[in-house]
Structure 1
Amino acid sequence: MSRLRPPSKLVREAPLLKANWRLLSVLFCAHVIGLSVVAAAAAEETKVVQFQPDGVARQDTLLRYRGKVPDLGNITVCFRFRVRQLRELSSIFSYAVVDEPNELLIGFEEDTHMTLHCCGGVFQDLYNFSVTLRQWLSVCVAMDLESRLVSLMVDGNIAKHKLDTLSESQLRVRGGGLLLLGQDQDSYGGGFTNTQSLSGTLADLRVYDRVLSDVEMLVFGKCEMAADASADPIISFSNIERDFEMVNVDLLETTKERSCAARRDKILVFTEPLVFEKAKHICGLSGGKLALPMSDKDTWRLFNESVPFGSVCNTGSMFSFWLGVQGDAETQTWNHYLTGEPLSYTNFVGRQPVVENPFICVGFVGDDKIDSREHGGWHTVGCKETACPICHLDKVVLLKVRGLCKASLFDRQYFLTEDNGSVAFTGTHYSMITRHSPLPDSHANASDHGFWELARLDRPSVKATLQMKSPTHYPFGRHKWTVQNDVCGNDAEVITITSCKEGQFTCSDGSCIEIQQRCDMELDCPSGSDEMGCDFLTLEPSYNSDNPPPRSAPNRPVEVQIQLHIYAIESIDVDNFEFTCEVEVTAEWFDPRLRFRHLNHATELNSLSGDEKLLWTPQMEFLGDGLTTSDVLERRSSLSVRRYSDPLADDDEEEQASEVFAGKENSLLLMRKVTVTTPCQFDLEKFPFDEQECSMRLVIAGITRDYITVIPDEKYGISFSGRRNLLEYVLVKEEISKQDVGNYSGLEVHLYLDNLATYYITSTYVPTLIIVVIGYLVFFFPIKNFNERIMVGLTGLLVEATFFSQVNSSIPHTAYMKLVDIWMVFCILTLFQVVVSVVVIHWVLEKSPVKTMVRVVTKGFPNSIRSPEEQKKARAVKVNRFCKMFTPVVTGVFLLVYAGLITLG
C-alpha cells in the first residue's frame, strides 16, 4: 500500500508546482513554434527564374526592372544563382544609364572569377573564385563607395578589396537608368550578345541602398534573412511578377531549402536493364558509383527520384534497380561493392537474408505501383539478372571530350543530365549530346538502334552523329563520329568521351587506368587498347632526316656525347700490326624537332629501332693509327629515348591521352655494338719487355664540326669489362680524349699495353742462360780433356743457335734489333767465345812453341827446372784461368746494360 503525502504539504507545494508547469508550458510552446518556423521556412515556396531553359544561348531572355533606380552612394547586391552552362560572361546584374552601359555590372567570366564594373567605368575589379556548375551559390557584393571598399561574400566566405582608381571625385551609381538581369548591356537597353548572357537559375535577388555588415551577409548566405521590411531592400524578388518584366524566361516555384542547399550530389538513372557487372561499369564510366542509401532518409530520397523510371526499368521482378551491394558468403555480411566494407544500414524486405553464394547482388524497389510496404525495399537477386543502374554522383562530374581541333565549335566538357527520360550529355557552354530514336526511313531495320547527336544548341547546323550499336550503347570511350559544318573541316572525327582524371588513360571502352600503365608491355585495359598505337616517336611533316638537329646558336654546334665500352680485346696481332676488340659505342644527343610519347623511366623500353631510318643519327667512322681505315663488323644496333623531363601539358586535340615529351629535354641514344679491327704501330725495340700504346679514333663523318661536335661523357667516357691479361700483353689503362680529324669532330681512344714477359723469361731467357752457363763450365774441365771440352762448347753453341732460330720464327720480324735479338746474339757470342777459348787453350797446351828448358825461381822455394811441356801447361792454365774470370765479368756487365735498356723509357 503506497503512502500518501500529508494534505498540508500538498497545499504548501501547489503554487510552486503551478508556476513550474507554467514555465515548462511556455518553453515547450516556444520550442514547438521554433520548430514550426524552421519547418515553415524550409518548406516555404519561393520563386526562381530560369534563364535559357532549353540551353540555347540567346539575346532575348532577360528580366527588365520596371521601377526607378535612385542615386546610390553605397550599394549591396545579394542573390542566389545556379549556373547550368557557362558563357564567356555570365551576366547577372547589368545596370546602364544613357551615356554608360556599365554603370554597374556584376557577372562571371567563364568559371574562374567575378567581374565588377561600376560608376561610369571608373574601375573594374576581378575577384577570383570558382563557380561550380549546377550548384546553388549565395553571393553578396557590398560596395562602400565613400571608403572605396568592396566586400564580397560567397557561400559564407568574405573577402575585402580596396578599389584601385586614380579618380579623386566622389563615386556614385547614378539613378534613373535601366536594370536588366540575365543580359549584358553594351549600349543602353541593347547591344546584347549570346556569349554574354546567363544560362541558369536566379533566386532571391536583393538590392540595398546601404552597405550590409558582414554578419548580415553571412545571414543571407545561410538563408536566414527574410525578405521583409526589416531587411529594407529597394529591389527584390518579393513580388517578381509586379516588379519585373519577364522575357522568355521560366518562372518556377521551389522550396527555399532547395535553393539554399549547397548539395552537389545527384542521382542518375540509366533506363536500360543491365546485368550487375555492366551496371557497375557504366556507373564507373559516368564518374559515379552505384547508389547505396545509408539511412531511411536516403532510401526515401532514392525512391522518390527513381519512381519516374520504375515502369521502364521493371522487367517483371519485384525490383527495378541495382544497388551497390554484394554479399560475402564466407563472412555472411552485405558489403559495399567497391570497398568491401560491411554495411551498417540495410533495408531488406523481411528478415536479412542469408548469403547463399558469391554471385548474389541486391535490387531496389523503385516502383510505386506495387505494395507500398515494399517501397524502397531491398531484395536479393542473382547478379546475372538485369535491372537499371542508379548511379550516385557526389559532385558534378565533367566528362572530357578529346579529339576535336582547337577551333572546334563543340564544347570540350560535359556533365550528365536527363532529357525526356534518357541520359543526356550537357556541355559546359553551348553543346549537348542527346539520344535519338531510329529515323523514320530506316524501314524497321533491326540493326538500327538509333543514334547519338552532338549538337551546338545555338547553331543547329553544326552537329555530329554516332550510330548506336545496341540499345545500351552509350558514347563513352573512343568512337568515330560523322561531323557536319564544324570548323575543323573533317567529315569524320575519332572522339573520346571520358570521365578519366588528369594523369589517367582512357581505354577504348571508356574505363580508366593510370597513364603510367600506357605502353608498359602489360595489358591493363579490358580490350588491351592501352598497348595499341604505342609509337614513341612523333615526326612533323617538315622533318628531314638528312639534316642534323638545329644549332641553338650560330656558333654553337650540337653536342653528341659519347660513351665507349670495350667488352674485350679479342686479339693483338703483332705480326700484322693490328688488334681486334669488341666495342659498344653509345651516342647521346638532343633533337628539338622531335616529340616522344609515353616514355618509360627504363630507357630499354623506349625503343625506336624500327624508326632508325626515319631519323637523323650520327654516322660514326673508326680510324686506326695514321688515320688508316679500320674494319668494322656491326653486331647489333639500337635506337632509344632516355627520359629526363616530365611530360608536357595534355593536349585534348589528341583522341587518346598520352604523355608527350619534348625532344629538347629528352635525349636520343644510339647504341652500336661492333667488332673493330684496327692498325696499331707497335714499337718492338724492347720486345719482349715492351710497352705499347695503341690508338683508335672515332669520327663523325659527313658533317663538319661547325654543326656537330662529339664529346666524351664526363663520368662514363670509356670503360672496360673484359679480361685485362691477354695472351702476350696486359691492358694497363684506357683513355679517351677529344681529337678532331681535319674539319670533322672526333675522339681518340688510347690503350696502354704491357708485354707479359714472363713467358719469354721462362721459355727463352732462362734456357739460353743455362746453356751459356753449361758452356762456361767447360773451363772447369781438365785442360787435357779437349774433346769433352770442345764437344760441350760446340753442343751449347748449336743448341743456342737452334733456340735463336725458333724464337726468331715466333716473334715479329723487324729491320731493327729487338731486346730478345740482342740477348740471343749475346748468348751465341758468349758460347762462341767459349769454343774459341777452348781451342786457344788446347793450342797453347799442345802446339805453342817452347825452345829450351827454363829455371823457375820462386821466392821462398828452391829453384826448379821446367821442361817445355810443363811450360805449355802453365801457359794453358793461365789462359784458362783468364777465361774463367773474363766470361762472368763480361756477362755481368752485359746483364747490367741489358737491365738498363729494359728499364729505360
Structure 2
Amino acid sequence: MLSICQLTLSLHIKLRRVSPYTPLLSYATEHSDNEILIELALQEKAINVICCGELVFEVVNATIELYKWQHICVSLDLSARTLRVLYDNVVGVAARPSSAALLSYLSNVLTAQSTEQSVKVDTTWLKDGQQLEVKGGGRLVVGQEMDSIEGDFDVDQSLDGIVADYRLYDVALGAEEMSDLVNCRSTREQKEPLLDLRNGKLAVKGPSRPLNASEREVCEERDVRFDLLFPQRMNFENAVKWCTNLKSTLSVARSDKDNTYMYDNYVKFSPQCTGTWTNLYWIGVYGDLAGDRWLTPVDPRPIAYDNFIQGWGKPSKKFQCVTMITKEDYKWAAASCLTETCVVCNFTRYPPARLRGLCKESLLERSFHIFEYENNQLVFDGRWHVRIVWINTSWVMESRVHPDLRAWIINEERDVHPVGIHTWEVQGDECEEKQVEMLLTFCSQDEYTCNEGTCIPKDRRCDLAVDCPDQSDEMNCAVIDIPSGYSSRLSPPSLNSNPLPLLISINLTSIKEFNLVSFTISIDAIWQLKWLDRRLQYSNLRGNYRANKLRDFDTVWTPGIKVRDGTMSSVDTVVRSRSLYVARVADPLPDDDTTIVEDDVYSGSNNLLVYEEEHTLTFRCHFDLQMYPFDRQRCSIIFKIQDLTQELCILVKDGPGVVFLGTRRLLEYYLMTETFSNFTQDAVSHVKVELEFKNLYRYYLGNTFLPTLMLVIICCITLCFDLADFQDRIMISLTSLLVLATFFVQTSQSITKTSYLKLIDVWFVALICEDFFIIVGLVIIESLRMKQLEPRLKEVKPFLAFGEKRPAVNTAARVNAAMLVFFTGSLLVMLACFVPVCFNSLNTAH
C-alpha cells in the first residue's frame, strides 16, 4: 500500500461479543503500530480514529449495539484536516432518489446521526515541510489490532461478529457517497475500492470463515422482528409455551416472500425436525372448528395468508394445527396438535439467557444470547469470550480467551437441551468444584424459572397460589434460612456495642372482668415484638407480613417477656397463641447467581422479625374506693425482658405503644385512657402500661342518691305537719329512717367491703343522722306540747281549716320552727359540700 493522505472505510457489522476495543481496521508500519487504527470503543460509546503514529487521535461519540446490524462509514482527509463519520442510518434498499429528496434526507441525516469535525494534529512532531500522511509499505489487518508489524495480537483487542460489504478507499468520499454506502445504495458513479471482501486482496486467517448474507438481511432491518428455529421436537401446546417463555410468538408467514425465506433457511433441519411424517416446523395458527377458519393462537384473528397443499387446508377435530411440510416445498398441511416437530419463534430482539450456579471466581460467563447456528444447533454466545455449542454428542462451553477452559453436560440423554438444570463437568476454571449444577434459563432477573421451564413473575413465587404448570413455584417455600452455627439460645448480636432495640407494641382487645370485690382485672392482650437478627436471611417475602409466617419458629431466637402487675407481683397468664413472622422492610439483596435458586433473598439486617403472643392476663389492682362511686382508678401491668440486661437489649415503644381495641364501657366503669412508659429497674428494661378507669356513677345517682335524698326531704317535711299530729309525724320519719337503713345495708352488701368509709357510706351515714335527729326533734317537740295542753279533750286537726286563726305561738311551736330551719339548712349545706367533692373526684385520679 502506497502513502496516502485520504481514506474512507465503509462496512456493515453485527457484533456478537463485547471487547474493550473492537478494531475495524489496523494498519502498522515498521515505525508505527498505529499508522491507521479505526476501532469501536463500546464501553466509552465512541468510535476512535487514530492515524499517523497517533499524531491524529479523534473520538466520535457513537452508541454501538450488539446482535444488530450497524452501518458505519468513516472518511478522513488529512490534507483538509477533516473527519466525517456516518453510522447506523439504514433506510432500506431502494432506487436512487431525486436530488431534492436526497438533499432533504441528507440534511436530516447529517444533523442527527453523522459527525464532521476538524482533525487536531500535534505538529511538534512534524519536521519542516513534512506532509501529514499515512506511510506506505505496511501491513493491514481487519478484526485484530497489531501491536507491531509482526502482529503481536491480543485477543482482548479483536472483533467477534459478522462483517459485510467491507470497503476501503484511498480517497475521502463526500457526504452523498457515504450515505449511499451506509444505506446500501449501489450506483455506477461509486469509485472502485482499494480493497474489499471480493477483490482477493484480503486473506481469511485465524478463526474466521466466509458467510453469504443477503442484502435484505443486512440492510432491510426496519422490521425488527425475526425468526429463530429451535431444533427440538415438541407438540403444538408446548411449542406455544416455549415461544411465550422466550417473550416471543409462534411464527407464521405473512406473505410468499416470508414463507419462502423461512423454508429456505430451515429446511436443512429436516433430519432433526421430521419424524414419521414430513412435518418441518409448526405454523403459528390453530383451527376454529365453529368458524371453519384458521386463527392465530395468542391474539385470535383470522390469518391473511396461507399456502396449504391441496386437500390439507381445512381444520378438523383430528387435524386442528398446521405444520410446514417437506413433501412439497413451501407448502403447509393440517396436522394433529399432538404431532411433535420443531418450533420457530418470532422475536423483536435476540433472546438472552442467564447461567446460574457458578462461583464468583469463575472464568465462565453468565450472560448469553442466541442468534446463529453451528452443527445444526443454536449457539449460545456470551458477551465476552464464552460460547455454548453442540460438539459431537454433547453441549460444550468453550472460551476464545482461555484455551484450557471447557465445560460439558454429563449424565444426560443425547438430545438434551442445555436450557434448564444440568450437571456440568468443568475444566480449567478458578472454581474448586469440578462438577457443578448449573441453571441456564431464558427467564429474566425479575422472573422465576419453573422446573419445566415456564417463566413467571418473581412476586408469584410462594404466594400460596399455583402459577407454574408443574406447581414448582409453591415448593421449597421456606421463609427463613438458618445458617450453620446459629444458636436460638443466643440473642442477636448488637451493632457498634449498642443494645439490641426490641420494638414493642401492645394491643388490648377486651376487658373480660373488672372485679371490685377480689381487686382483680382480667384482660385479653396481644403484644408484638420486632427486632433485627443480622445472622439470618429470608426468602420470597410478601408485602403483607402475615403471609411470611414461620411454621417452626423454635429454631429462631425469640425474646422471653415476663409480665407483672403494678406491685411487681406475678400475673396469671393463659397463652392463647404464638406466631413469628418476617416483615419485609427493605428491598431484596442483589441477585446471587452463584446459586441456581432464583428466590429473592432478604437480609436480616434490614427486615424485621415480628413475634406475636396472645394472652389472657389476670392481675391485681389496688383500688382506692374512698370516693366511690365518684372514683377514678388506675391499674398497671409491667413487661420486662427475661434474662437480658439493658446492655444487651432494650424495649422501645413501637408506634403509640399501647392501643385498646375493645369496648371501653364496662358494667360499672369506663376505660378513659391507656398509657405507655419505659423505665429501667435492676439493669433490665421495663415497659409499664397503665389503664385509667372512671366510675359510671349515673346508676347510683338514680338508684341510691336521689331516692335517699327524697326520703330525708320527706322527713324534713314532717316538721311542717300540725304539732298535734305526732303519730303521723313520727311514723313517717321512722319509716324514712328504716328505708334509709335498708338501702344502706343492701348497698354495702353489693360493693366491696373496706376498712375505711367510702363516699357513698358517708352519704348514707349523713342522711341517717339527719333523719335520726329529726325524729329526736319530733319527740322533744311533742314532749313540750304535751306539757302545755289543758286537761280537756280537744279536736285534733292535721291542718287548720280555711280562715281559721292559728292559736298563739307557744314553746313547742317555736322549737318546731327552729328545727325546720336547722334541718333544712343542714341538708343544703351537706349537698353544697358533697356535690363539689364528687365532681373534683371525677376529675382527679387516685
Q: Would the TM-score normalized by the shorter structure come out above 0.5?
A: yes
- Aligned residue in 1 for 2:88: 155
Post-superposition Cα deviations, 1:212-231, rounded to whole Å, max 9, x if no partner, equal 443332221112357x9953
Identical residues among aligned pairs (%): 29
Query: Which of the numbers 448, 473, 480 marks the counterpart of 1:530?
Result: 473
- Write the deviation string for residues 502-522 of structure 1: whole angstroms up to 9, x where unpaired: 422211111112222222111
Rate the CA distance shift 1:899–1:255 in 2: closer, same or farther, 3 A. closer
Residue ranges of structure 2 left out of the alignment (5+ in a row): 90-111, 127-131, 791-806
Deviations 1:91-116 (A, max 9, x none): 33333455654454334456884562
CA contact (8 A) 1:505 1:656 kept: no
Partner of 1:864: none
Between 527-536 and 560-569, report the one with greater CA deviation: 560-569
User: Is 1:498 paired with 2:430?
Assistant: no
Asked if 2 retains the 8 angstrom alpha-carbon contact of 1:310 and 1:320, the reply is yes
**Is the 1:97–1:174 contact (alpha carbons within 8 Å) kept by the matching residues of 2?**
no
User: How many angstroms apart in 1 are the aligned matches of 2:119 and 2:741?
Assistant: 110
Contact 1:477-1:507 within 8 A present in 2 as well: no
SS at match of 2:323: strand
- Where does residue 349 of structure 1 map in the other structure? 309
The equivalent position to 2:281 in structure 1, one of 321, 334, 357, is 321
In structure 2, distance between residues paired with 1:243 and 1:823: 122
Q: Does residue 1:604 correspond to 2:546, yes or no? A: yes
Is the 8 Å Cα contact of residues 320 and 335 (structure 2) preserved in structure 1? yes
Task: Report deviation, 1:528.
Answer: 0.8
Report the counterpart of residue 516 of structure 1 in structure 2.
Answer: 459
Structure 1, 98-107 or 214-223: larger mean CA deviation: 98-107
Q: Specify whether residues 816 and 359 from structure 1 end up closer, same or farther in structure 2 by C-alpha distance, changes over 3 A only.
A: farther
Show the counterpart of 2:694.
754
What's the secondary structure of 1:840's corresponding residue?
helix
- Partner residue in 1 for 2:829: 893
Q: What secondary structure is seen at the aligned counterpart in 2 of 1:301?
A: helix
Instruction: Report 1:109-124 matches (<5 A).
Output: 113-114=45-46, 116=48, 118-119=50-51, 120=53, 123=57
What is the match of residue 387 of structure 1? 341
The alignment status of 1:216 with 2:157, answered yes or no, reads no
Please name the residue that 1:81 is paired with: 13
* Alpha-carbon distance change, 903 to 271 in structure 1, aligned in 2, over 3 angstroms: closer
Secondary structure of 1:250's aligned partner: coil
Deviation at 1:664, TM superposition (A): 5.6
Measured after TM superposition, the shift of residue 334 of structure 1 is: 0.6
Report the secondary structure of 1:478's partner residue: strand
Per-residue CA distance 1:817-855 (angstroms, 9 max, x = gap):
3211211211221232134334434544557999xxxxx
Match of 1:338 among 298, 310, 316: 298
- 1:28-107, aligned counterparts within 5 Å? 67=1, 70=3, 72=5, 75-98=7-30, 101-107=33-39
Change (3 A) 1:147 1:832: farther
CA offsets 1:176-232 (integer angstroms, 9 cap, x no match): 544322323345534333333333333433344554443332221112357x99536
Per the alignment, in what secondary structure is the counterpart of residue 231 of structure 1?
A: coil
Alignment of 1:457-472 (within 5 A): 458-459=402-403, 462-469=406-413
Pairwise CA distance, 1:722: 1.5
Q: Distance in 1 between matches of 2:117 and 2:487?
A: 57
The alignment yields a C-alpha RMSD, in angstroms, of: 4.1
Q: Distance in 1 between matches of 2:134 and 2:816?
A: 142
1:159-198 matches, cutoff 5 A = 159-160=114-115, 169=124, 175-176=135-136, 177-198=138-159
Give the structure 2 partner of residue 27 of structure 1.
none
Kindly provide the amino acid, as one letter, of the partner of residue 235 in structure 2: V
Partner of 1:7: none
Q: Does 1:310 find its partner at 2:264?
A: no
Structure 2 residue 190 is the aligned partner of structure 1 residue 250: no
Q: Deviations over 1:341-363 (max 9, x none)?
A: 21011112236844333861112
Q: Distance in 2 between matches of 1:585 and 1:426?
A: 56
Conserved 8 A contact 2:8-2:169: yes
Contact map agreement 1:85 1:200 (CA 8 A) in 2: yes
Name the SS for the 1:343 alignment partner.
coil
- Aligned-partner Cα distance in 2 for 1:164–1:592: 59
Q: Is the 8 A contact 1:581 1:677 kept in 2?
A: yes
Which SS does the other structure have where 2:578 is aligned? strand
TM-score where L is the length of structure 2: 0.81
The aligned length equals 792
| Distance change in 2, residues 1:745/1:165 (3 Å) | farther
Change (3 A) 1:191 1:814: farther
Q: Are 1:772 and 1:796, in contact at CA under 8 Å, matched by a contact in 2? A: yes
Give CA-to-partner distance per residue, 1:852-884, whole Å, 9 cap, x none: xxxxxxxxxxxxxxxxxx99x944444344333
- 2:318/2:336 contact within 8 Å kept: no
How far is 1:808 from its partner? 2.9
C-alpha displacement of 1:593: 6.1
Residue number among 232, 235, 242 corresponding to 1:275 in the alignment:
235
Q: Take 2:781 and 2:341, find their aligned partners in 1: how far apart are those partners? A: 128
1:761-790 Cα distance to aligned partner (Å, 9 max, x none)? 333324433443454455466656767765
CA contact (8 A) 1:455 1:464 kept: no
The alignment partner of 2:576 has SS state of strand
Q: Relative to structure 1, is the Cα distance of residues 106 and 756 closer, same or farther in structure 2, using a 3 angstrom cutoff?
A: same
Which residue, out of 740, 757, 761, partners 1:817?
A: 757
Q: Confirm or deny: 8 A CA contact 2:83 2:119 kept in the other structure.
A: no
Give 2:419's aligned residue.
476
Q: Secondary structure at the match of 2:113?
A: strand
- Looking at structure 2, the residues matched to 174 and 549 of structure 1 have their Cα atoms a distance apart, in angstroms, of 69
Query: Structure 1 547/95 Cα, relative in aligned 2: closer, same or farther at 3 Å?
Result: farther
What aligned pairs does 1:813-892 form with structure 2 within 5 A after superposition? 813-845=753-785, 874-892=810-828
1:419 alignment partner in structure 2: 374
Deviation at 1:238, TM superposition (A): 4.9
Give the match's secondary structure for 2:614: strand
Give the counterpart letter for 2:629 in structure 1: P
Task: Read off the aligned partner of 1:382 and give its amino acid letter.
Answer: S
SS in 2 for 1:309: helix
Give the 3-state SS of the residue equivalent to 1:467 in structure 2.
Answer: coil
Contact 2:492/2:534 (8 A) holds in 1: no
C-alpha distance in structure 2 between counterparts of 1:510 and 1:799, whole Å: 90
Q: Separation in 2 of the partners of 1:117 and 1:499?
A: 38
- CA 1:201–1:529: 2 relative to 1, 3 Å: same
1:529 to partner: Cα distance: 1.2
Contact 1:478 1:510 in 2 (8 A): no
Paired letter, 2:159: L
The 2-side partners of 1:453 and 1:243 are apart by 32
**546, 558, 566: which one pairs with 2:508?**
566
User: Where does residue 301 of structure 1 map in the other structure?
Assistant: 261
| Residue-by-residue CA offset, 1:599-649 (whole Å, 9 max, x unaligned) | 33333223345447425x555554543555544444333333444555454
Aligned residue number for residue 614 of structure 1:
556
Q: Is the 8 A contact 1:612 1:639 kept in 2?
A: no
Question: How much has 1:587 moved relative to structure 2?
Answer: 4.0
1:339 Cα shift? 1.8
How is 1:436-835 mapped onto 2 (pairs within 5 angstroms)? 452-456=395-399, 458-459=402-403, 462-469=406-413, 473-538=416-481, 546-548=490-492, 550-551=494-495, 561-588=503-530, 595-608=537-550, 610-611=552-553, 613-615=555-557, 620-625=561-566, 630-661=571-602, 666-699=607-640, 711-713=652-654, 717-736=657-676, 747-773=687-713, 775-776=715-716, 779=719, 793-794=733-734, 796-835=736-775
Opposite residue 291 of structure 1, the aligned amino acid is S
Q: Aligned to 2:771, what secondary structure does the other structure show?
A: helix
